[in-house]
Chain A
């Protein structure tokens, strides 16, 4: 880490969240964890086809950042995208429907887990090409600047994606043009089955600093710290002070994807247990809520139970929901263009 990089490890409570904000952050983290537990179950029980990547363990990253955004702010997401989707405001029902390929899914079942997005809340899509959305996020920010709109775009990507050349092309342009984009690198220590240190030479934040982009390394298991910093950077982006770069140190609890069960050849059970027991973002934040007198244990238990119930109902709904009709297969290949706009004089 270079001297310019700012390291954030502890949340400051002075400018901390209101009670509502804190409870909402907790709720959103539990909603992600619960969504993933159900998605994993759907896969393991053979009810869901394909492959899917669990966000469990990384909740504080998506929630800390997305709670600093408004509905008109945009995000781009990754193959590990359920967490971003929930955090940006999506509903369980449409999400489970999408995972099961049902017509009521956010993408009418045509996207699936790896392309899931609630477009109405500014989610420009999960992307199954590692690093594939970096240009999209930067272009969204260029559009905001060009059209005089004050929204900010956050580009989520993994440590593995820092090896894609596209990142360096768009960081260069984002810095040259001072675009309102935040590059949020979720460093969960692994790129598929390979440790980050084996694929990334030097420091990750230094990559951004080379372009003159202010970069921060953050404890990605601390939702308050992530949120506090994100709020500041989002505000500075709106003031024309962007772009920024965040490296969020985090951990995925499951395998790379749901089928990655026997993984001791690349990651020890001891390491997994350490992150789950000692650094879990939900356990940590729950303790903070109680300590601060924001919520009592019993209230939190009730909240957790309610979310479990919501998920159960949404899963049941999605299982019973209809598949798209066969006539949908060649719909939406091309967008309609109003013929009136194609006339001269219009």
Chain B
């Protein structure tokens, strides 16, 4: 199968969906001729013109609100938020407006809007351009949240996000834009709420999202050499969450670590760990561990920044100790 970058995969998804549905459009800062600072959208304005690839002023709440209004009245906007850290600026439009319209109207209005943005530290970008804020939006009923872990997921999840009738926040790992993966030429969509078992194993389950899937896979390779068989599962969407696949895996392995690049406190890892505790308690041989980013603002200094994110070695070490029967705390 051909291999393309995550950036190309997103671009292909957008091109295919914009050709298919004339009510779709892209709106955000420097999305047109510049194709965003990450160059993910290169070529789109040439095909679809500036009426459907719309450059905005630096007004995040404004253009997210515009997306909500366009979605409420029959369009399918794809709103581009340059950095995930800017989610804080658009919380009202996203969480008070987009998320609640369907419910508050008794099901009469809906907001088929995609907000695409990114996450990820270790790019030496400092505390305001490195955060992974999926927990903030995943907390709010009415929003779906997709976290692609490779080019393949990035394309298939984006296509589903655009066709879904709800606000969907899709967060890409900005360090992965140039990473290649096999992506079929023929059209495909990845359904929401279907986890992907990346690697089968029998001793421990590693539930990992987005950037942390690679980390978990690398940890599994380390563990394999030591005779520990780790199963790696990527939920792909955290809202909706495919609990069933996760629970079945844990029933089989009886141990689990949940890994996500958001801060660990009150985060995605805690939520998933808690569901596993509630729903697979009698099958567990050890507490489910959480491994999120350290609860510090992301520091600039490379030596410090690298300490804040879970690593394959850290995951392997925790897995080793869990399998050895040590009741430990996550790193």
Quick one: closest A residue to B21, CB to CB?
A341
A125 with B109: CB separation less than 8 A = yes
Q: Count of chain B residues with Cβ under 8 Å from any Cβ of A?
A: 54
Please tell me if A326 contacts chain B, counting CB pairs below 8 Å.
no
Given contacts A137-B69, A139-B66, A146-B75, contact A173 B59 (CB under 8 A): yes
Name the segment of A62-70, A164-172, A229-237, A296-304 touching the other chain.
A164-172
Query: A141 CA to B73 CA in the complex, in Å?
Result: 9
- Residues of chain B lying within 8 A (CB to CB) of residue A153: 69
List residues 57-82 of chain B with CB under 8 A from any CB of chain A.
57, 59, 61-75, 77
Quick one: closest B residue to A107, CB to CB?
B106
Please tell me if B110 contacts chain A, counting CB pairs below 8 Å.
yes
Name the segment of A85-93, A128-136, A259-267 touching the other chain.
A128-136
Q: Count of chain A residues with Cβ under 8 Å from any Cβ of B?
A: 53
In this complex, the member of A120, A343, A344 whose beta carbon has the largest number of chain B beta carbons within 10 angstroms is A344
Given contacts A74-B73, A334-B166, A341-B163, contact A135 B93 (CB under 8 A): yes
Quick one: closest A residue to B23, CB to CB?
A147
> Shortest distance in angstroms between A116's beta carbon and chain B's nearest beta carbon?
10
Binary per-residue interface labels of chain B (91-118) against chain A in the complex, 1 for a CB within 8 Å, 0 otherwise: 0110011000111111111111000000
Please tell me if A142 contacts chain B, counting CB pairs below 8 Å.
yes
- Residues of chain B lying within 8 A (CB to CB) of residue A172: 57, 59, 62
A335 with B25: CB separation less than 8 A = no
Query: A214 CA to B109 CA in the complex, in Å?
Result: 32
- Residues of chain B lying within 8 A (CB to CB) of residue A125: 101, 104-105, 109
Please tell me if A312 contacts chain B, counting CB pairs below 8 Å.
no
In this complex, the member of A134, A166, A335 whose beta carbon has the largest number of chain B beta carbons within 10 angstroms is A335
A136 with B69: CB separation less than 8 A = yes
> Shortest distance in angstroms between B46's beta carbon and chain A's nearest beta carbon?
18
> Shortest distance in angstroms between A1's beta carbon and chain B's nearest beta carbon?
26
Query: A142 CA to B69 CA in the complex, in Å?
Result: 8
- Residues of chain B lying within 8 A (CB to CB) of residue A173: 56-57, 59, 62-63, 66
Please tell me if B52 contacts chain A, counting CB pairs below 8 Å.
yes
Please tell me if A53 contacts chain B, counting CB pairs below 8 Å.
no
B61 with A342: CB separation less than 8 A = no
B106 with A135: CB separation less than 8 A = no
Pairs A-B, 8 closest by C-beta atoms:
A135-B65, A139-B69, A169-B62, A108-B106, A169-B59, A136-B69, A139-B66, A335-B110
Pairs A–B under 8 Å by Cβ, sample size 12 = A125-B109, A136-B72, A139-B73, A140-B69, A142-B69, A147-B22, A147-B74, A166-B62, A331-B107, A332-B103, A335-B110, A343-B189
Q: Which residues of B contact A (CB under 8 A)?
A: 22-23, 25, 51-52, 54, 56-57, 59, 61-75, 77, 92-93, 96-97, 101-112, 141-142, 144, 160, 163-166, 186-189, 191
> A169-B61, A334-B166 provided; 5 other pairs, C-beta below 8 A?
A135-B61, A143-B73, A144-B73, A334-B102, A335-B112
